[in-house]
Homo-oligomer: A and B are copies of this chain.
Amino acid sequence: MRYELYYWPTIQGRGEFVRLALEEGGVDYVDVARQRKRGVAAMMKIINDRRAKRPPFAPPFLKAGNLIIAQSANILLWLGPRLALSPRDEAGRLWAHQLQLTVADLLAEVHDTHHPVSSALYYEEQRAVAKECTAAFWKHRVPKFLGYFERLLDKSGGNYILGRGVSYVDLSLFQVVAGLRYAFPNRMKRFERRIPRLVALHDRVVARPRIAAYLASNRRIPFNEEGIFRRYKELDQ
């Protein structure tokens, strides 16, 4: 099975959580919109296909044979058992998915820090509100979300959040730590002493051979100011 991932070609964004799973799974996949021949046009063609019975609302989506699956957490729910990145039993798979949905909630709040008013406006048009939003995010939300994952790591009984085996949730938590470090280097530096297990998990994921190879390749798009995690000096004080 050759998987086709469709996502914006110049950002990590929500597609990155799927990319990390495909890379760790060691499977054959194409990042379609990044291919010169097909590009974003191939992605938009599927989104705008008025004959499609089940069109995706937005990228990312994954094509696997005739199946098209959208919503990153939904894609990972489906991919998990196929890539050996989620538990075999139903309760375990639901638990992994539940955590992934909590990661998705966190990501929406990260995006809101720089775009609290509207995604249709430039950051510069909502900078003052973004400062307020970011302050509240770091005061209330980061401790709540990351504190939760830190506690789970404490009681997981293994090196990873579900226990002994790595799962797509671990890959996503690596991305969260890496993203917060990119976007808020000063704030994150101060905060990291409160989440030693999450930092250790980040390092453990980075050291996995397939992830290390991926991160060193040009398949990994660098962080930038178009994605979820954006670095703006004035939000990091």
Contacts and interface: CB of A to CB of B under 8 A. Distances in A.
Interface of A: 50, 53-57, 67, 69-71, 73-74, 77-78, 91, 94-95, 97-98, 101-102, 105, 108, 112, 116-121, 129, 132-133, 136-137, 139-140, 145, 148, 151-152, 155
A116 B129 contact: yes
A69 B53 contact: no
Contacts of A77: 94, 97
Given A53-B155, A116-B129, A98 B121 contact: no
Contact of A69 (B54, B98, B120, B133): B98
Q: Which 8 A-B pairs have the closest CB atoms?
A: A118-B136, A71-B101, A57-B102, A120-B140, A71-B98, A116-B116, A74-B98, A117-B132
25 contacts: A53-B155, A54-B95, A55-B152, A56-B98, A57-B98, A57-B102, A67-B91, A71-B97, A71-B102, A73-B101, A74-B97, A74-B98, A101-B101, A105-B108, A112-B116, A116-B129, A116-B133, A117-B129, A117-B132, A118-B136, A118-B137, A118-B140, A119-B140, A120-B139, A121-B136
A217 to B, nearest CB: 30
A142 to B, nearest CB: 12
Contacts of A94: 67, 69, 74, 77-78
Contacts of A71: 97-98, 101-102
Contacts of A119: 140
Nearest to A131: B117
A44 to B, nearest CB: 15
Given A74-B98, A78-B94, A105-B108, 15 more contacts: A50-B151, A57-B98, A69-B98, A70-B98, A71-B101, A74-B101, A116-B117, A116-B129, A117-B132, A117-B133, A117-B136, A118-B132, A118-B137, A119-B140, A120-B140
